[in-house]
Structure 1
Amino acid sequence: MMSPTEGPRTASLIASAGPSIFSPENFRKAIAAGASAIRVSASKYPLDVLAQKADAVVAAAKELERPVDLLLDLPGSKSRFTNDDFFSLAGVERVRIWYQPVPARRDIAVPEIGLTGDDLGAIIEPGDVLIAGDGEDALRVESVADDHCMAQPLTFGNLGRRKGATVAGKRQSYVSLTESDLEALATIGDTPYSAVVVSFVEDAKTIEMVRAAMAAGTPTDRQPAVIAKVETRAGVAATRDIAGASDAVLLGRGDLLMDCGELDFYDLGKEVLKTCSKAGVPVIVGTQLMPSMSVGWLPNRSELAYLSHLIEKNVDGLMLAFETTVGKQPIRTIALVAELIERYGGGPTRPMFPLRYEM
């Protein structure tokens, strides 16, 4: 296991890379505003683009003389909508959802979208609520066929690119490591990424597989840290073992809410934080920490209060996602969270792991 960097125990501020900050100039602005880590998702971009963005982050960190972690998020596999562009639900009465790629476009009145993965279609029944992303939108299933279902939108937003899909109240299967994830792990030794984030971890064996995959191309003393994302009931139940095998744990609140439902969400999240604290393993809290700043000038009061509470509780990292991927005020949001960390956490933001590039 890799030890976190020495120094005052203040939180790392992780900014997820997306269109809102996905340029060398915006990386520089994000780091200057207080981001101490940049997270890049391997689900969105090919390996050559990931390498280019890593180089851009390193260049910005050196220019500003501010050390910055680089986190490569391995997405695993879950059911997702197949749209490559925004899919608007505004004014839509019905949607046909295919359990496979959408057939060749026909002149029909009902909008169509596809779902990846075979498992979700097998459990969908009339009356089910199909949730998109982290709960931003939802559709109620009206009828089902062998290869598709018909659903009525319950919300009328824009489905973002390839958002995850979940059936409310039903357990579905996840894959922690896909072939593309393993390919990325085998080549990560030649990159400046200081840590890999592994999705849907539900046992310590998954972390062992990650380390073995990295060992094929990277000496043990040069391997990036491994961050286990706990985001299902099964993962929460195994947190102690997972924490013992990992360099850090990321509480993935978005998928945890989808998996466990509203009433158990708080208790399960609290259990992860307590277990990691007792084990002495760094813990990161992620997603939707302050999304309200994308629709208003000031943050939502409950977001502001809970985020400050997390910082006072000495969490080791806070991860912004929507706020910096497609949010409308990414730099202002980063700057505010960084100021909160300094006020309630006792010091400025900091990287969590030894850097894999020279400053």
Structure 2
Amino acid sequence: MNKNKPLKRTKIIATLGPASSSKEALSKLLLSGVNLIRLNFSHGEGTSHLETLKLVRETAEELKLPIGVIADLQGPRIRTGLLKDKSVTLNPGAKITITTAKGDDFQGDARVITTTYKGLAKDVGARDRILIDDGLIELKVLKVRDCEVECEVIYGGTLSEHKGVNIPGVKLGIPALSEKDLSDLDIAIKGGVDYIAISFVQSANDVEHLKELIRKAGSQIPVIAKIESMKAVVELEAIVNASYALMIARGDLGVELSPEKVPILQKKIIEMANEAGKPVITATQMLESMIKN
């Protein structure tokens, strides 16, 4: 061992997908310097992740490389519902209502759409912003009536089905872990992953709740809190203290913040994590300009 060689403090995390889940592809990744494998539970069935986890362990053992595995839970994603023609055009200045009174099979149009979050009308108020499809479409809440949220289109565009919804600055009454997350958590614990990441954290209580569930399952797997919204940023100090590590989800933060503010906030979060002695992960859109150059 070269004692003069500096200690490597920065690690590389790779998310496995269909193209990288073969033994050959995985071996190349590990030999290229990947230190941690992320299993994205937003996609695929739990049993398929168990098979991938087994492959990672076997490959790492054959290569005699220490590899950690992160189970990244999907979290409470809010999405839009079905549409009559699969997509609609929303024009700036137009009025549109988001209703929670219709069933999951209701097909919306340019005047009325649905959402998967049934508590939306209870959480938002006049002048709140609602961002759809990673911020490509922006609505402003005009008024709320019972189960209906009447909005004005600020930035329009083509809206397709099942697009993500962000509501900057509003604390939502949605549970931190969905039924799917609880099922995936059970699989991750039984599979013996090294870390569990919780998505769309709003407060330290979300982290503590997950830690308690892990303890009740007889495990001590460390929890990584993903910082994806301004709600989490406001509660950052408490979240840092409650978590083993942080993950800065730059893509989701970029939906709620202007792009030039993301690097500044990223640096602040990293500094706070460093001061607390907590590992910190910076994720999404890293070195993206080097894909083709």
The 2-side partners of 1:258 and 1:175 are apart by 21
Partner of 2:215: 215
SS of 1:12's equivalent? coil
Residue type at the aligned position of 1:101: D
Say what the alpha-carbon RMSD is for the aligned residues. 4.0
| Counterpart-to-counterpart distance in 1, 2:283 and 2:222 | 18
Provide the residue aligned with 1:201 in structure 2: 201
Q: Gaps spanning 5+ residues in structure 1: where?
A: 1-6, 299-359
Aligned length: 272
Amino acid at match of 2:58: A
Aligned residue type for 2:178: T
User: In structure 2, what is the equivalent of residue 37 of structure 1?
Assistant: 36
Q: What TM-score do you get using the length of structure 2 for normalisation?
A: 0.73
In the alignment, which residue of structure 2 is the partner of 1:48?
47
Q: Match for residue 178 of structure 1? A: 178
Q: Name the structure 1 match of 2:192.
A: 192
Matched, 1:227 2:224: yes
- The structure-2 alpha-carbon separation of the partners of 1:59 and 1:289, relative to structure 1 and needing over 3 Å to count, comes to same
Give the TM-score normalised by structure 1. Answer: 0.61
- Number of the residue aligned with 2:133: 132
Listed one character per residue, the Cα deviations across residues 224-276 of structure 1 (whole Å, up to 9, x for unaligned) are 22111122223223323222222111112222222344464344322211111
Q: Percent identity?
A: 24
Question: In 2, Cα distance between the equivalents of 1:215 and 1:149?
Answer: 43
Query: Alpha-carbon deviation of 1:104?
Result: 6.5
How far off is 1:189 after superposition?
3.4
Q: Which protein has the bigger strand share?
A: 2
Relative to structure 2, which stretch is displaced further, 49-58 or 263-272?
Answer: 263-272
Q: Which of 245, 266, 271 matches 1:274? A: 271
Q: CA deviation at 1:293?
A: 4.8
| One-letter amino acid of the structure 1 residue matched with residue 137 of structure 2 | L
2:26 corresponds in structure 1 to 27
Instruction: Name the aligned partner's letter for residue 41 of structure 1.
Output: N
- Pick closer, same or farther for the CA change 1:38–1:154 going to 2, 3 Å: farther
Specify the code of the residue in structure 2 equivalent to 1:139: I
8 Å contact 1:98–1:148 — kept in the other structure? yes
The higher-RCO structure (CA 8 Å, 6+ apart) is 1
Are the equivalent residues in 2 in contact too, given 1:79–1:120 (CA < 8 A)?
no
What is the CA-CA distance between 1:35 and the residue it aligns to?
A: 1.9
Partner of 2:3: none
CA distance 1:290–1:82, change in 2 (3 Å):
farther
